Structure 1
């Protein structure tokens, strides 16, 4: 009992930053040398997310011993020094079982070339997990077919069992994007596959995979879920000399802030909205999208949809005097987000929840890639009028 009491005193003195200036019969110096190993077994009360000391990655706060045994690497301290920020990485043929794991190409941070296949299995850690979130920190694969938008040569594929309709399929440049994937009734494992062509293309990927419990899930049907008063929304593979992907049908959702009653969208720049409008292969760059005529909706094979109400369309006094009725156009395509606007424009919606639908159909070979760049929009939530 006396030895244990001496160790407790030494431990508290050590943690307080004190200096031991004497020894007792139990050799205090040797005990202090053992203290770091003792502290390794002190449990971190709650394994929370932490910021790595590289200023870039995120990890899980746990004690040093657990981090090492789980195959992670410590990046600085957390929990007031009782834990370390443990970062997990995985690459081809690895099983991913830890939350907040970075799936990287074999040569990361260098580019990888010459490989044709890479796969990994995600093991769901807890029965409360209902979604996976993929944050594409770096994602640079081969581009889709320029004419059709189909991922043919390089394909990033996430699958769960035999449910093909729920697969996530991507290619091209998607750094900075994210996606949610429903775990569903999978057998506890999700598979990631990277199918790559033999072309001399250099590739780079760093994908953070987070397992999301039911209490923190994104709304049902939202492939992307944004939080914050303002932000930027892009379709997949929105890049210079790129084009939007074919066979995309998903929702982009924005969490409604407290005190916000509407949301505004406007293009990031004058060329940031190009979605080919017509099924017959013709393009009208003057009218663009949302011209208020039913014809426009019928012509939009590839399109985005923004729920709105007629009150969202503000008319000038002259238009009101002429008896023009406010018409809410939910479907947008073409060379402009708004009707008759050659430059940037702005649309507002009071419909909640805040959702943008992305609907890109099957490939159309007679369409110019330049007319199918995709969409980049800045959004801003607007406060309620008091």
Structure 2
């Protein structure tokens, strides 16, 4: 999927006809207040490439960033005290709002809160690169990003979570971004009824997800929604080298060396394994077999992913299809 298709897909969802001239393309160090933005690696990128996204309007509430990138893999840092390793994005990284990502991505996306009505006027996106002089073995860096400023009506719940106000605010006459606006607190949001979800730096099961992640993956609920069904086809989360099956609940909180708790898991509220009707909430371990999980929790449809500070050689991530029924 190339960047043109990604832009067309976003425009189709928004229901707005956008000409190519309306998509801003700032370079490193540049600023823009455009609603639709495309960021690509320059021919000779500097060690630090920063983009400044200024609010398109006072109704902007989120940025959606769709991106493909090739950066260095997470660095495995060993603790002198425990001998345990952690996977950190410290060589190359993409950083926004305190989140760092690295490695290989083929059209992932994230959401960033951007509450312009509360006085937030700018979001900075940073690409930091290691020195590649002298025949470095690091991969040639590359990135291609589509940034969309999403607008919410003043007083909408997504705003009230971040900036409650006693003053009534006038509503805009029309908004076309509603389908794409994520529920508050979601790092990723999938509004379509079917799709594929992969962990960061999945890289066809050959990557390493970064340590210290804790985020919500959300799905669109309507008044007709009855369940979320997940079919996992690759799962290596918190897996010890001997693990070959999916583990659940208490098995996901096991002690590693030096008595440091290992708690990498995918949490699915009020879930059950369809094959044997077993109830579970936390999922970890390793399996390449299809595993079907169904969830019918009330409220927002979501799953949570957590990775602690301990790296294990089998921490490759997950990939699953989903259906909102």
Q: TM-score range by the shorter chain?
A: 0.7 to 0.9
| Map 1:201-240 → 2, pairs under 5 A | 201-215=139-153, 216=178, 217-240=181-204
Question: Which residue number in structure 2 is paired with residue 35 of structure 1?
Answer: none
> How far off its partner does 1:275 sit?
0.9
Q: Per-residue CA shift, 1:98-121, capped at 9, x if unaligned?
A: 1111011112xxxx56x3111121
> How far 1:288 sits from its partner (Å)?
2.6
Q: 1:283 Cα deviation (Å)?
A: 4.2
SS of the equivalent of 2:320 reads strand
1:90 aligns with 2:90: no
1:120/1:56 CA distance change after superposition, 3 Å: closer
Does residue 265 in structure 1 map to residue 230 in structure 2? Answer: yes
CA displacement at 1:57 relative to structure 2:
3.6
Aligned equivalents of 2:6, 2:322: Cα separation in 1: 25
186 and 120 in structure 1: CA distance in 2 versus 1, 3 angstrom threshold: farther
- Kindly indicate whether structure 1 or structure 2 has the higher relative contact order, using CA contacts under 8 Å at least 6 residues apart: 2
Q: 2:209 & 2:263 partners in 1: Cα distance? A: 13
Q: From 338, 347, 357, give the equivalent of 2:304.
A: 357
CA contact (8 A) 1:313 1:327 kept: yes
1:174 maps to which residue? 105
- 1:356/1:60 CA distance change after superposition, 3 Å: closer
For the residues of structure 2 that align with 1:245 and 1:308, how far apart are their CA atoms?
27
Contact kept, 8 Å, 1:276 with 1:283, in 2: the verdict is no
Deviations 1:202-261 (A, max 9, x none): 111111111111243310111111022211011111114311111111100010245330
Distance, in Å, in 1 between the alignment partners of 2:63 and 2:221 is: 22
Q: What's the CA shift for 1:298?
A: 2.4
Q: Deviations over 1:268-314 (max 9, x none)?
A: 3xxx210124xxxx444244322xxx5314225111100015xx456
Q: How many correspondences in the alignment?
A: 267
Of Structure 1 and Structure 2, which has the larger fraction of its residues in strand?
A: 2
* Alpha-carbon contact 1:248-1:358 (below 8 Å) kept: yes
Change in CA separation of 1:314 and 1:155 when aligned onto 2, cut-off 3 Å:
closer
What is the deviation of 1:343?
2.2
Structure 1 residues 31-68: Cα deviation after superposition (integer angstroms, max 9, x where no partner): xxxxxxxxxxxxxxxxxxxxxxx66644999xxxxxxx
CA distance, structure 2, for counterparts of residue 91 and residue 122 of structure 1: 12
**CA shift at 1:187, angstroms?**
3.9
Q: Give the corresponding residue for 2:246.
A: 288
Matches of 2:59 and 2:226 in 1, distance apart? Answer: 32
After superposition, the CA RMSD in angstroms is 2.7
- What's the secondary structure of 1:218's corresponding residue? coil
The answer to whether the 8 Å contact 2:274/2:292 transfers is no
Could you tell me how far apart the structure 1 residues matched to 2:297 and 2:92 are? Answer: 38
Structure with a larger share of its residues in helix: 1
CA deviation map 1:53-87 (0-9, x unaligned) = x66644999xxxxxxxxxxxxxxxx97xxx94423
Distance 2:90 2:293 in 1: 35
| Structure 1 contact 284–334 (Cα < 8 Å) conserved | no
Matches within 5 A, 1:182-193: 182-184=113-115, 185=118, 187-193=120-126
